[in-house]
Each structure stands twice: as structure tokens, then as C-alpha cells.
């Protein structure tokens, strides 16, 4: 897991069924892989489409592209965090302390993705259409239409929100998943880490 500072917390294991662990691992792996691939495609489209905008020669346009690529970078970090989150579900146990940290990191990265995409949209809308110093906002004449290009930062935001919601669903098990009626609950032996 990507941790800004400090170390991984001491694991606190919660017993869940092996089918729940398989579901967490499979869904997290699939979501992370798809999110990484889609974010790379969105990044390439942002780079290519930014050069085809009517205001492509403006330095503000390149600043906007750099900000958008930062949002794609944060989106890639979300995808890699989802791929790493599979390590918190092993055997029949879920590491609750690790998943709490993972969810916090994913929340911060999701906010960073949405914030940088919103800032890039603001810069795009406020950029003059040509280098002559016009204060007119970008419009559709010539090059790639600006409304079409604005879909890319919104796509990055949507992917980040969907990834964070999926991670919250997976890494924060609902009470329905917890084994209350199991006669072996709570298990006293066989915990990972010698507990």
C-alpha cells in the first residue's frame, strides 16, 4: 500500500469466509487492472487532444495538460492501491488495520484526482482562444471541440469515484458478511502471524 509516512500498522485480523476473501481479491484485482488501463488511455487522449484544441499554442493550454496529467497520475496511484489491497485479504482473514489505511489513502488520492481535474477544466475554460490576448473563452471552431475534450477530465473523476466506492464496499465488510451464526466464531487458532 502506498503510505505517505510511517509504517504499516500492526495487523488486526477479522475472520471472514474464504468466498468473501476470493471475492475481495478478484474484484480488487480486476478493478485495479481495468482502472490502470483506462487511466493510461485517458492520459494519452488528454495529451493528444490538448494539442488539437483551438488554443493549442497558448502556454495556458500546456499548463492545463500538465495539470490533467497529474490527475491521471493520481488515478494510476488509485489503480495500483487497489491492486495492492489484495494483500489485505488472505486465507479466511481480512486485515482491518491495513484496510483502514488503504481506504484513507484511496480517499486522499480520489480527492486529488477530482481537484486536479477541476482545476484543469477551470484553466481550459479561462484560457484565451488565441495568443492575441483575447479574453474570449474557447469555442468549437477549428481543432477538437472543447466540450468533447472536457469529457476527459470528467472521465478521470468518474473513474476515481467508482474506484473509491468499490474499494469502500470491498475493504469495509458489511455486517452481513460477518459470521455471527457460525458455531466456530470467533476462531481461536490458525490466525496469520501466529495469533
Q: What is the pLDDT of residues 62-80, one digit of tens each?
A: 888 999 999 999 999 999 9
Query: How many domains, in total, are found in the chain?
Result: 1
- pLDDT tens for residues 136-157? 444 434 456 777 788 899 999 9
Rg, the chain, Cα only: 22
51-60, 66-75, 84-93, 168-177: which is most confident: 66-75
- Flag whether 49 is in a domain: yes
The gap between the terminal CA atoms of the chain, to the nearest Å, is 23
- Flag whether 82 is in a domain: yes
User: CA–CA distance from 2 to each of 7, 79, 105, 109 (Å)?
Assistant: 10, 11, 7, 10
- Flag whether 162 is in a domain: yes
**Per-residue confidence at 6, pLDDT binned at 50, 70, 90?**
low
Q: Please determine, for residue 184, whether its predicted confidence score (pLDDT) is greater than 50.
A: no
- Flag whether 124 is in a domain: yes
Other C-beta atoms within 10 Å of 166: how many? Answer: 18
Other C-beta atoms within 10 Å of 176: how many? Answer: 6
3-12, 94-103, 157-166, 168-177: which is most confident: 157-166
Residue-range definition of the domain harbouring residue 114? 22-177
What nine digits make up the cell of 3? 503510505
- Flag whether 12 is in a domain: no
| pTM of the complete model | 0.78
- Flag whether 191 is in a domain: no
Say which range, 89-98, 118-127, 142-151, 184-193, has the weakest mean pLDDT: 184-193
- Flag whether 78 is in a domain: yes
Over residues 162-170, mean pLDDT = 92
What nine digits make up the cell of 17? 469466509
- Flag whether 190 is in a domain: no
Amino acid at each position: 500500500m502506498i503510505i505517505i509516512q510511517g509504517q504499516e500498522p500492526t495487523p488486526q485480523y477479522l475472520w471472514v469466509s474464504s468466498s468473501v476473501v476470493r471475492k475481495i481479491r478478484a474484484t480488487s484485482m480486476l478493478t485495479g487492472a481495468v482502472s490502470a488501463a483506462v487511466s493510461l488511455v485517458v492520459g494519452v487522449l488528454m495529451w493528444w487532444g490538448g494539442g488539437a484544441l483551438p488554443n493549442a499554442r497558448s502556454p495556458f493550454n500546456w499548463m492545463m495538460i500538465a495539470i490533467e496529467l497529474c490527475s491521471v497520475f493520481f488515478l494510476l496511484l488509485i489503480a495500483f492501491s487497489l491492486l495492492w489491497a489484495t494483500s489485505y485479504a488472505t486465507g479466511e482473514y481480512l486485515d482491518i488495520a491495513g484496510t483502514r489505511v488503504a481506504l484513507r489513502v484511496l480517499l486522499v488520492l480520489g480527492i486529488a484526482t477530482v481537484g486536479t481535474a477541476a482545476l484543469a477544466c477551470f484553466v481550459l475554460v479561462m484560457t484565451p482562444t488565441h495568443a492575441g490576448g483575447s479574453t474570449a473563452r474557447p469555442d468549437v471552431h477549428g481543432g477538437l471541440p472543447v466540450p468533447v475534450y472536457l469529457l476527459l477530465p470528467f472521465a478521470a473523476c468518474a473513474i476515481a469515484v467508482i474506484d473509491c466506492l468499490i474499494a469502500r464496499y470491498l475493504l469495509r465488510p458489511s455486517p452481513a458478511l460477518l459470521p455471527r451464526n457460525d458455531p466456530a466464531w470467533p476462531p481461536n487458532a490458525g490466525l496469520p502471524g501466529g495469533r
